[in-house]
Structure 1
Amino acid sequence: MSTSTPDESRSSGDHCTPDALLHTAPSRDVTPEDFVMAAGRDVTPKNLDWARRKMATDPTAVERLLP
């Protein structure tokens, strides 16, 4: 049994919510620890140094990595 609603029974006001309205920016700044974990790496001193360098030299790196 299908749980989807046939197009004919949907009201004309039904529409998909734009992706930009479903996601918000983090409530605080992203930390090197956040960046390391989002990259799928273990939080180690070496990876934290990598994250600090990456965040300092590539301002868009965080935006590309985090949803």
Structure 2
Amino acid sequence: MPTSQPASGPSEDRATPDDLLHTRTGTEVSPEDLVLASGKDITPRNLEWARRKLEAEGPAALDKMLP
């Protein structure tokens, strides 16, 4: 028996605004957090990249990495 959803006009499913998707809790963002969010391995070179990025952009650097 097929299941169907009731016909109730236009769907209320809408994309969630990007600023509501981020889940940072207000805690400090570490270089390790940024490296992992970028999908890279934690290496001295990647940690240095993350430190520079955090100095330039602050915690927003992590928000820009996340969907």
Can you give the 5+ residue segments of structure 2 that lack an aligned partner in the other structure?
none
Distance 1:51 1:17, change over 3 A: same
In the alignment, the residues of structure 2 paired with residue 40 and residue 16 of structure 1 have an alpha-carbon distance, to the nearest angstrom, of 30
Count of residue correspondences: 63
Partners of 1:2 and 1:54 in 2: how far apart?
53
RMSD: 3.0
Partner SS, residue 5 of structure 2:
coil
Q: Normalization by structure 1: what TM-score? A: 0.62
Matches for 1:1-67 after TM superposition, within 5 Å:
3=3, 5-6=5-6, 8=7, 10=8, 15-16=12-13, 19-20=16-17, 23-27=21-25, 28-59=27-58, 60-67=60-67
CA deviation profile, 1:15-41 (whole Å, cap 9, x unmatched) = 336624963431223211111011111
Mark the runs of 5 or more structure 1 residues left unpaired by the alignment.
none
